[in-house]
Amino acid sequence: MTEDIFNKIIDEIKEGVLDKGKFKADKNNFKSLAAAKEDARIAFVDGGQAELLRAADFSLQFIRTAAIVFKGREKEKQIINEFFVLIKTDGDYYKTEIFSLKGNSADKVIFNSLDRSIMDGNEKAEISKIAGVMRRFAEIKLAKEIVDDTDIIVLDGSLKSIVTGESEQMNLLFDKAIDKNVVLCGLAKTSRILEDGVCVLSKLEKDGEWHYYIKNEQGYAVYGTKLNKDAKYVFQFDVLQKDKIDFALSCLIKNSNDAVFPGYPYGLILADKIARVSNEEKEYLLTKIKAKAGSRWKSIEKSLNVMNGHSILDKIG
């Protein structure tokens, strides 16, 4: 009986709904790619974060952004920015305070918790959600800082602006990249929208390295791409300058032959590794905060206990 249930589930999953969406792939529209003969200077940008303290009325987050510059397969330099962001409630608003440790941080921003672009359905935005937005703003700011030293910039994730204020930040980056003749791109590891075509392309069998144009959105072009013949994944690839798509991807092919994750640029693997905040780092920072707080920690802990009761049950489990 159990085996029958599993087989039915597997059949339903395999059938899927991908071929029922708006996007219809044409096998004739795939464009093959070859690795570039000359090396370009490519900057890969990513960020990481960890929540250190959370109460009903505040959240303390640690954010790190990293830019890794490669020329071909050779790493030339890296830039790391680190900062704390304290997010506090003020009525329906969230106010941010920045404490920079290393390099440049994000700018202070005030968010409306009832802003539809950050709300969770019909519920006001969780205070800790603001940290992800601040990290994204910091990544964009870092990308603007390195435009002068690169030929291509690759952001982790799409170029799409979702949150209020993000489009203004992104448009400044767009303008600077165009002015400096730098190709601005974004590579997304996951794609959740059936209509965007990436999910459909992932089901089609196409050998070699290639790209497939999907659509224009918010001033940039969206493609599906496979950057290594041995890759098991098709990625969404956004590019600001559509006429530079072949140049950008052919340069990335050389950087996309890591044995662990073929088809995914090693520069983004390294940027993720450097920017990621480990649990050990989180515990270290939290220990330092407790030590510095001294007798003040008891008062802070009372605020934290309003939110962390569930974590006690998790530890018991």
Who has greater pLDDT, 24 or 37?
Answer: 37
The pLDDT of residue 194: 44
Angle between the 279-293 and 297-304 helix axes, to the nearest 10 degrees? 130
The pLDDT of residue 311: 53
pLDDT at 53 over 80: yes
Angle between the 129-145 and 166-179 helix axes, to the nearest 10 degrees? 10
Q: Predicted confidence band at 313 (pLDDT cuts at 50, 70, 90)? A: very low
191 vs 202: CA distance, rounded Å: 10
Handedness of CA 293, 299, 301, 306 (dihedral sign): negative
Question: What number of other Cβ atoms are within 10 A of residue 276's Cβ?
Answer: 15
pLDDT tens track for 160-190: 999 999 999 999 999 999 999 999 999 998 7
Provide the whole-model pTM.
Answer: 0.89
The pLDDT of residue 59: 94
pLDDT at 230 over 50: yes
The pLDDT of residue 189: 82
Residue type, 231: A
212, 24 contact by CB (below 8 A)? no
Backbone angles phi, psi at 130, to 5 degrees: -60, -30
Q: Predicted confidence band at 15 (pLDDT cuts at 50, 70, 90)? A: low
199, 191 contact by CB (below 8 A)? yes
pLDDT at 275 over 60: yes
Contacts of 200 (CB under 8 A, 6+ apart): 18, 19, 21, 23, 24, 25, 194
Q: Predicted confidence band at 295 (pLDDT cuts at 50, 70, 90)? A: confident
DSSP collapsed to 3 states, 93-144: EEEEEEEEEECCCCCCCEEECCCCCCCECCECCCCCHHHHHHHHHHHHHHHH
Who has greater pLDDT, 192 or 289?
Answer: 289
Q: Give the tokens for residue 286.
A: 């939290």
244 vs 221: CA distance, rounded Å: 11
The CATH class that applies to domain 23-277 reads: alpha beta
pLDDT tens track for 79-109: 999 999 999 999 999 999 999 998 888 888 9
The pLDDT of residue 102: 86
Q: Predicted confidence band at 246 (pLDDT cuts at 50, 70, 90)? A: very high
